[in-house]
């Protein structure tokens, strides 16, 4: 082979499976392509990876499996041979902690509930809040990458971080296309739990179509329907 010829595939080991993947593809894509599930929160196929939630963390070794570092699989592009472990005790601990923080911050967002349930969380040790935005950034990327609107962006840092229109004024370049709204996980009614084993409850509808279950508009956050055991209440 001509030494200048670009290497197109890279040998990779994921959870003991040997495979060749396209150079530049991500660990997440490569794992999914061969049927290995990695949970995600802020990733959506068709939008650029953002790397915000770290729920997709895996252990990665670039020295043939001698040492490993934790990385977000959705943003990790493969450019050389690596060994990946997607489901170690350390990774499970990290994901569970992140899921607990997520559901404590936004107990009424269905995606947060789903992720917490998947990790078997039924107790929350952190102060419960009622955020409706989980800072997944899907709306921002949808606006910029699919709608060409550029009307949304992240603003602030740390606890002040939020999604906002530039200068907090509805932008003139907003197309009113509804793309941001349609993709937002905070707009899906949270799950009240499956009542009959084996059946789906079918409650995953838009909040506009369903009345609030309490006057404060917290969809059962602290009511008896909440599947989470509340160990701390907001002040």
Q: How distant, in Å, are the alpha carbons of 61, 62, 71, 82, 84 from that of 66? A: 7, 8, 16, 11, 12
Q: Are 219 and 190 in contact (CB under 8 A)?
A: yes
Residue 151, binding choice from ligand FES, ligand SF4, none, Cβ under 5 to 8 Å by partner class: ligand SF4
CA 138 to chain centre: 9
Among 21, 27, 74, 115, indicate the residue that binds ligand FES (CB under 6 A): 74
Region of residue 163 (phi > 0: left; psi between -120 and 50: alpha; otherwise: beta): beta
By residue count, the chain amounts to 235
CA distance 145 to 141: 5
For ligand SF4, the closer of residues 172 and 229 by Cβ is 172
Residue 103, binding choice from ligand SF4, ligand FES, none, Cβ under 5 to 8 Å by partner class: none
- Least CB distance to ligand FES at residue 41 (A): 5
Query: Binding of ligand SF4 at residue 94 (CB under 6 A)?
Result: no
Query: Binding of ligand FES at residue 94 (CB under 6 A)?
Result: no
Residue 18, binding choice from ligand FES, ligand SF4, none, Cβ under 5 to 8 Å by partner class: none
Query: Binding of ligand SF4 at residue 179 (CB under 6 A)?
Result: yes
Token pair, residue 189, equals 């009614």
For ligand SF4, the closer of residues 175 and 210 by Cβ is 175
CA distance 63 to 83: 8
Binding site for ligand FES (CB under 6 A): 40-43, 51-56, 72, 74
């Amino acid at each position: 082979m001509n030494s200048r010829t670009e290497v197109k595939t890279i040998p990779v080991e994921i959870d003991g499976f040997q495979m060749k993947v396209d150079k530049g593809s991500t660990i997440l894509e490569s794992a999914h392509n061969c049927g290995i599930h990695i949970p995600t929160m802020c990733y959506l196929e068709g939008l650029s990876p953002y790397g915000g939630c770290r729920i997709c963390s895996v252990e990665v070794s670039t020295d043939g499996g001698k040492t490993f570092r934790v990385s977000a699989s959705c943003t990790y592009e493969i450019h050389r041979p690596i060994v990946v472990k997607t489901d170690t005790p350390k990774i499970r601990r990290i994901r569970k902690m992140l899921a607990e923080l997520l559901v404590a911050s936004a107990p009424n967002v269905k995606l947060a509930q789903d992720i917490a349930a998947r990790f078997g969380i039924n107790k929350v040790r952190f102060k419960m809040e009622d955020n409706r935005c989980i800072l997944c950034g899907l709306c921002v990327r949808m606006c910029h990458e699919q709608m060409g609107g550029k009307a949304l962006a992240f603003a602030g840092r740390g606890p002040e971080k939020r999604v906002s229109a530039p200068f907090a004024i509805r932008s003139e370049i907003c197309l009113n296309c509804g793309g941001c709204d349609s993709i937002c996980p905070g707009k899906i009614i949270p799950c009240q739990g499956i009542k009959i084993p084996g059946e789906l409850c079918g409650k995953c509808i838009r909040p506009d179509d369903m009345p609030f279950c309490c006057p404060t508009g917290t969809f059962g956050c602290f009511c008896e329907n909440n599947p989470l055991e509340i160990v701390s209440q907001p002040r």
